[in-house]
Chain A
Amino acid sequence: MGWSASCINPFPASSHLLVAINMSKHLKSSQIPLRKQKRAWLGNEKARCVLAYYGLQKPPYELDALEPYMSRKTLEMHWGKHHRGYLEGLNKQLAKSDVLYGYTMEELVKVTYNSGNPFPEFNNAAQVWNHDFFWESMQPGGGNEPILGLLQQIEMDFGSFTNFKEKFIEAALSLLGSGWVWLVLKRNEKRLEVVKTSNAISPLLWDDIPIISLDMWEHAYYLDYKNEKGKYVDVFMNHLVSWNMAMLRMARAQSFVNLAEPKIPVA
Chain B
Amino acid sequence: MALRTLVTRKSLKGGLGLGFSRLRGVHTVSLPDLPYDYGALEPVISGEIMELHHKKHHQTYVTNYNNALQQLDAAMAKGDTPTVVKLQSPIKFNGGGHINHSIFWKNLAPVCEGGGEPPKHSLGWAIDLHFGSLEALTQKMNAEGAALQGSGWVWLGLDKEFKRLVVETTANQDPLVTKGPSLVPLLGIDVWEHAYYLQYKNVKPDYLKNIWKVMNWKYASEVYEKECP
Residues of A within 8 A of B (CB): 77, 81-82, 85, 123, 176-179, 198-200, 217-219, 222-223, 226-227
How far, in Å, is A175 (CB) from chain B's closest CB?
10
* A218 in complex: contacting residue of B56, B93, B192, CB < 8 Å: B192
Tell me which of A177, A200, A218, A223 contacts B172 (CB under 8 A): A177
Residues in chain A near residue B194, CB distance under 8 A: 218, 222, 227
Contact yes or no, A177 B151, CB < 8 A: yes
27 contacts between A and B (CB under 8 A): A81-B201, A81-B202, A176-B89, A176-B172, A176-B173, A177-B93, A177-B150, A177-B151, A177-B171, A177-B172, A177-B173, A178-B151, A179-B150, A199-B149, A200-B149, A217-B193, A218-B193, A218-B194, A219-B193, A222-B193, A222-B197, A222-B198, A223-B198, A226-B52, A227-B52, A227-B57, A227-B60
Residue of B nearest to A73 (CB): B201
Asked if B56 and A227 make an inter-chain contact with CB atoms under 8 angstroms apart, the answer reads yes
- Whether A85 lies near B149 (C-beta < 8 A) is no
* CB <8 Å contact, A85 and B151: no
Q: Are A85 and B150 neighbours in the complex by a CB distance under 8 Å?
A: no
Q: How far is the CA of A222 from the CA of B152 in the complex (A)?
A: 17
Where the two chains meet, the residues of B that have a C-beta atom closer than 8 Å to any C-beta of A are: 52, 56-57, 60, 89-90, 93, 149-152, 171-173, 192-194, 197-198, 201-202
Which of chain B's residues have a CB closer than 8 A to the CB of A179?
150
Residues of B close to A199: CB separation below 8 A: 149-150
What is the CB-to-nearest-CB distance from B143 to chain A, in angstroms, rounded to a whole number?
Answer: 14
Given A176-B89, A177-B150: A219 and B202 within 8 A (CB)? yes
What B residues does A219 contact at CB under 8 A? 193, 197, 202
Q: Chain B: which residue is nearest A229 at the CB level?
A: B60
Q: A218-B193, A218-B194, A222-B194 known; A178 and B202 CB under 8 Å?
A: no
Min CB distance, B99 to chain A, in Å? 15
Query: In the complex the two chains form, what is the Cα distance from A200 to B171 in whole Å?
Result: 14
**Which residues on A sit within 8 Å (CB–CB) of B60?**
227
CB distance from B162 to the nearest CB of A (A): 29
- Number of A-B pairs whose CB atoms are under 8 Å? 52
| Nearest chain B CB to A156 CB, angstrom units | 28
**Smallest CB–CB gap between B129 and chain A, Å?**
31
Instruction: Give Cα A177 to B172, complex, Å.
Output: 5
User: Closest CB-CB distance, A207 to chain B, in whole Å?
Assistant: 23
Q: With A82-B202, A219-B202, A226-B56 known to touch, is A178 a contact of B150 (CB < 8 Å)?
A: yes
Interchain nearest-CB distance for A63 vs B (Å): 16
Q: List 19 additional A-B contacts (Cβ < 8 Å) besides A177-B151, A218-B193, A219-B202.
A: A77-B202, A81-B202, A82-B202, A85-B202, A123-B149, A177-B150, A177-B152, A177-B172, A178-B150, A198-B150, A199-B150, A219-B193, A219-B197, A222-B193, A222-B194, A222-B197, A226-B56, A227-B57, A227-B60
Q: Which of A176, A179, A222 has the most CB of B within 10 A?
A: A176
User: Pick the contact of A77 from B151, B171, B201 — CB < 8 Å?
Assistant: B201
**Complex-state Cα separation, A219 to B202, whole angstroms:** 8
Query: Contact: A176 with B193, CB < 8 Å?
Result: no
Q: How many angstroms from the CA of A198 to the CA of B150 in the assembled complex?
A: 8
Provide the residues of chain A in CB contact with B93, threshold 8 Å: 176-177
A238 to B60, CA, bound (A): 25
User: Which of chain B's residues has its CB closest to A220's CB?
Assistant: B193
Q: Return chain A residues, CB-CB under 8 Å to B202.
A: 77, 81-82, 85, 219
Contact A218 B52, beta carbon cutoff 8 Å: no
Contacts of A222 in B (CB 8 A): 193-194, 197-198
A198 to B149, CA, bound (A): 10
B169 to chain A, nearest CB (A): 13
Shortest B145–chain A CB gap in Å is 15
Smallest CB–CB gap between A120 and chain B, Å?
Answer: 10
Chain A residues lying within 8 Å of B149, measured Cβ to Cβ, are 123, 199-200
Bound complex: CA A92 to CA B89 (Å): 37
Q: Which residue of chain B has the shortest Cβ distance to A201 in the bound complex? A: B150
